[in-house]
Chain A
């Protein structure tokens, strides 16, 4: 993900914060789920309807990144992912490729006509 978000060798810029947040959330979430005592029972305290370790997995690992990463992606989209200038550069490249292919085709057709 970090590899994909890095732009022209300039790193991930402002995305470092949400990336760090999610990495820490996932790591801490897994560690807590592993490390906290397995004492679920009928008298367990419930967190949003689930025992603590289950709540960490479902809400922490499952839902927390949903709130952070896609929003960070959208907020940094123009600066970090894709701008209208980028798209225009690629479209010019595409047009150039089509024009070159057309010219080569015409040249080939002309050569064939000459040789005939």
Chain B
């Protein structure tokens, strides 16, 4: 869900809240991040430390970090705005979270973590390369990830700029570079280790902010029943199961966000990092509960603001994305508003750090491996790539205008359509072949880019609100199964014995 589409943030010109208490909370937040980063930088000595934290993260830290990476500014700004605009149908973006974490654990976590144990793998394309004994599959999946990351990074960089500007009042351009500099500093110095422990802090902050806002809204609104009654009196369709969307549109959301979660590199990459594979036992339960806490704000703000506007407690919004900012500034205490805005900054920085790290690993590890060469000092090259990727993303965020929103749109869909068949199905089905994997990755890349471009420029859209991402994922799966079936004679011979053993466990 971290598609996160901080698109809400991009459309919402956040009101300036630069007041002494808010700035103090913001400065305290950045101080904690710098302290964690300094500590982590002293513990980062190898490429394995830099990219997968030396396979040494404990269960609780990994869980909170994973929750933090899974959500982004979208959960705090764009999501509540979407509920405010279309009603309960927008919940179908987050409802799949009830099954996705445990699905990821069964389908991917065990096998990827064991592949890390047996072969010291560090990246998602590493797993694809090992599964199909194919450098080209590893390289092509790396390219797909890199394309998706450009969009994500630029979108999140801009979102970060919007939030930093709202808190400190420094202007959007300076906001982008200030936010990116802090994220870059800890990403370069401490790699994913700094990222993970900053994510723990940021995830905790998000959960606390979310729960407080949820309780505050229930208290002010007189409970969920009273809030519902207020809405039902004037706009009953808002609380219909699909809201103002069509059943097909919400089912399309449910499908893409459920299946697509298995292809999000920022989530599945973390499976490598767990210190002890046996700790996976409690990972899905803890992560799901963490997500439920963080998403309380998503639901309560969307529904609560609708009721408050209906009853006249709040003025009508100028745009749906103003739901969270307007609520925070007109109804909640200022310190709670500051906490939530820091939570939004935390969400975007956490996403940026994760994508910087994954992008750097593709550039310095997967692409060289695909061309049959390995860099001698992956740690140094990883740090250099981190700086370049961050600067490119910030420049795109600053100069690409409305295109940046488009770049962010296809991120989730692109990862889903290119990685779900080859990775998630491939690690569980011995009938999958190298050619099938290559076909599905290529299909995902081409179809997602074509359909999302056509959809963005309104050249073509699917009827009944069906998303282009859902169609791309279906086509990618179909090409994967069809080509694997056609080339099935090569399937059994293309799996190394250790990979086969792990697949059969």
Give Cα distance in the complex from A71 to B102, angstroms.
9
Query: Across the interface, do A50 and B119 meet the contact criterion of CB distance under 8 Å?
Result: no
Whether B169 is near chain A, meaning CB under 8 Å from some CB there, is no
Give Cα distance in the complex from A73 to B107, angstroms.
12
Query: Across the interface, do B105 and A50 meet the contact criterion of CB distance under 8 Å?
Result: no
Which of the candidate stretches B200-208, B233-241, B367-375 sits at the interface with the other chain? B233-241
Q: Which of A38, A42, A82 contacts B240 (CB 8 A)?
A: A38
Whether B421 is near chain A, meaning CB under 8 Å from some CB there, is no
Q: Mark B479-505, 1 if CB is under 8 A from A, else 0.
A: 000000000000000000010011011
Whether A33 is near chain B, meaning CB under 8 Å from some CB there, is yes
Residue of A nearest to B239 (CB): A54
**Count class of interface residues, chain A:** 35 or more
Q: Mark A40-62, 1 if CB is under 8 A from B, else 0.
A: 11101010111101101110011
Given contacts A49-B223, A94-B118, contact A57 B425 (CB under 8 A): no
Whether B101 is near chain A, meaning CB under 8 Å from some CB there, is yes
Query: Across the interface, do A33 and B225 meet the contact criterion of CB distance under 8 Å?
Result: no
Query: Across the interface, do A82 and B278 meet the contact criterion of CB distance under 8 Å?
Result: yes
Residue of A nearest to B241 (CB): A33
Whether B270 is near chain A, meaning CB under 8 Å from some CB there, is no
Query: Across the interface, do B241 and A73 meet the contact criterion of CB distance under 8 Å?
Result: no
7 pairs of A and B residues whose beta carbons are closest in the complex: A49-B224, A4-B107, A70-B285, A4-B106, A33-B241, A77-B281, A40-B236
Give Cα distance in the complex from A62 to B295, angstroms.
12
Query: Across the interface, do A54 and B88 meet the contact criterion of CB distance under 8 Å?
Result: yes
Query: Across the interface, do B98 and A87 meet the contact criterion of CB distance under 8 Å?
Result: no
- A residues in contact with B285, CB < 8 Å: 70-71, 73-74
Whether A20 is near chain B, meaning CB under 8 Å from some CB there, is no
13 examples of A-B residue contacts, CB within 8 angstroms:
A1-B103, A4-B103, A4-B108, A8-B505, A40-B232, A40-B240, A44-B236, A49-B223, A54-B239, A58-B88, A74-B285, A82-B280, A90-B498
Whether B428 is near chain A, meaning CB under 8 Å from some CB there, is yes
Query: Across the interface, do A4 and B241 meet the contact criterion of CB distance under 8 Å?
Result: no
Residue of A nearest to B291 (CB): A66
Query: Across the interface, do A90 and B114 meet the contact criterion of CB distance under 8 Å?
Result: yes
Q: How many residues of B contact A (CB 8 A)?
A: 55
Query: Across the interface, do A51 and B103 meet the contact criterion of CB distance under 8 Å?
Result: no
CB distance from A3 to the nearest CB of B (A): 5
CB distance from A104 to the nearest CB of B (A): 15
Query: Across the interface, do B119 and A42 meet the contact criterion of CB distance under 8 Å?
Result: no
Query: Across the interface, do B280 and A54 meet the contact criterion of CB distance under 8 Å?
Result: no
- B residues in contact with A51, CB < 8 Å: 228, 232, 236, 239
Interface residues of B in 261-288 (CB under 8 A from A): 277-278, 280-282, 284-285, 288
Of the candidates A1, A5, A38, A44, the one having the most CB atoms from chain B within 10 angstroms of its own CB is A1
Q: A34-B247, A42-B236, A69-B99 are in contact. List 17 more A-B contacts (CB 8 A).
A: A1-B103, A4-B108, A4-B424, A34-B241, A42-B232, A46-B225, A46-B228, A54-B228, A62-B95, A70-B101, A73-B106, A82-B281, A90-B118, A91-B118, A94-B120, A97-B118, A97-B119
Given contacts A71-B285, A87-B277, contact A93 B224 (CB under 8 A): no
Whether B39 is near chain A, meaning CB under 8 Å from some CB there, is no
Give Cα distance in the complex from A77 to B278, angstroms.
9
Query: Across the interface, do B277 and A82 meet the contact criterion of CB distance under 8 Å?
Result: yes
Query: Across the interface, do B232 and A1 meet the contact criterion of CB distance under 8 Å?
Result: no
Whether A63 is near chain B, meaning CB under 8 Å from some CB there, is yes
- B residues in contact with A44, CB < 8 Å: 232, 236
- B residues in contact with A86, CB < 8 Å: 114, 505
Whether B110 is near chain A, meaning CB under 8 Å from some CB there, is yes
CB distance from A48 to the nearest CB of B (A): 7
Query: Across the interface, do A66 and B88 meet the contact criterion of CB distance under 8 Å?
Result: no
Query: Across the interface, do A61 and B103 meet the contact criterion of CB distance under 8 Å?
Result: no
Give Cα distance in the complex from A69 to B287, angstroms.
13
Whether B229 is near chain A, meaning CB under 8 Å from some CB there, is yes
Residue of B nearest to A84 (CB): B278
